[in-house]
Chains A and B, each alone.
Chain A
């Protein structure tokens, strides 16, 4: 508890103090005080619109993640088992990783209806991470275990369940915190730019148009908080599975 106070709470209080003092020197529109932002957070959290917007944003992030996972696992497997696919996909992944998300966004604005754009953006930005983790995970399956498989002529299904999936799981699980944060952030960003009809991004955009800086910051704090909460919730739900693969 003492450690927690020292390592987490004190820096936070220091930061808030610094913020409070700085805000005294600026206009409320440029830098609102932490108290003003806190007030906004309370107001936002009392409204039902916020929760439906949050749900929509999280669902979009989830949708993109599911697409990325299914495609990424499939491609990762194909790359592992076929040299040709691996040779073909490596440059594609590198390109995917280095392409600025804004390019995807601009293209998506041309290609898609606004409400699916965040799903698409989440999918394209997480898919390289998933593919690489699956690919590395499969590479890590030790030759010693594969010898068991060839010796006892185990079928592919058993090999998948007993060897490949657990090995991938350890890799994806070790990256899941980064992945979840990324999904939620990109989902909100795409919502803002695509001007979707509903979502946290929509609310943020509205606050920005109204030049309500306190509200923009309030949503920022809420996103950080709910990303953290989602992470914790998932850790809790999957803790059994997590332990299984460690």
Chain B
């Protein structure tokens, strides 16, 4: 679906991605990796926000929407207007806005301005905006980082339902293993910089919270740690 070939990206002398070949398939792909490993950099390249790179990124003209690492809500607009702001004029569907914001528990706040909201509420609005936009794939950069555990689990469950129902794809960047396991069909793990190699894990787990208590979950967790902590590199 998204094909990345021979991708190299540097900031000055600092090479972040080097001759990277990567294929992102349908479903939910999670990019996992430590801070500073180049996850955001790759996401921005895929999003087309940074055109300064060598190699090829082919996203087959898919329509994308994005949830940035920051909320990026306009302070002078209400949440509703912030959401409508990015929508194509013929795609403003109040029912859809109401439905998705309801499952993210911010519907009652739609007519408030961002400054009146808590960090988590703003975060949820940014997430809602990414999903309400009619895209084939949603790109998200650490969207849950400011949410408490319960809310995070609830939102992840809602996102899974939404993705299933609308047959949409998700590319999620995170460094949280639990998040990755709850959402992913495939996990791509970055370890060293510059990123050339990575580990791909294909998952077939039931996507619900009960899975967190099962031995399958701990098994996967163990495998991820094993890869992250192995010293094979260098």
Contact = CB atoms under 8 A, between A and B. Distances in A.
Interface string B77-118: 100000001100000000000000000000000000000000
Interface in A27-69: none
Interface stretch (B3-11, B24-32, B68-76): B68-76
A158 B85 contact: yes
Contact of B66 (A151, A154, A158, A163): A151
A244 B68 contact: no
B129 to A, nearest CB: 9
Interface of B, secondary structure class, is loop
A246 B47 CA distance: 31
Interface residues of B, number: 15
Interface residues of A, number: 16
Contact of A151 (B49, B70, B74, B85): B49
Contacts of B76: 166, 170, 244-246
Interface in A144-201: 144-145, 147-148, 150-152, 154, 158, 162-163, 166, 170
A245 B70 CA distance: 21
B49 A145 contact: no
A233 B64 CA distance: 48
B163 to A, nearest CB: 20
B190 interface: no
Given A144-B68, A145-B72, A151 B77 contact: no
Interface string B38-60: 00000000011100000000000
Closest CB pairs A-B (n = 5): A166-B76, A152-B86, A144-B72, A162-B85, A245-B76
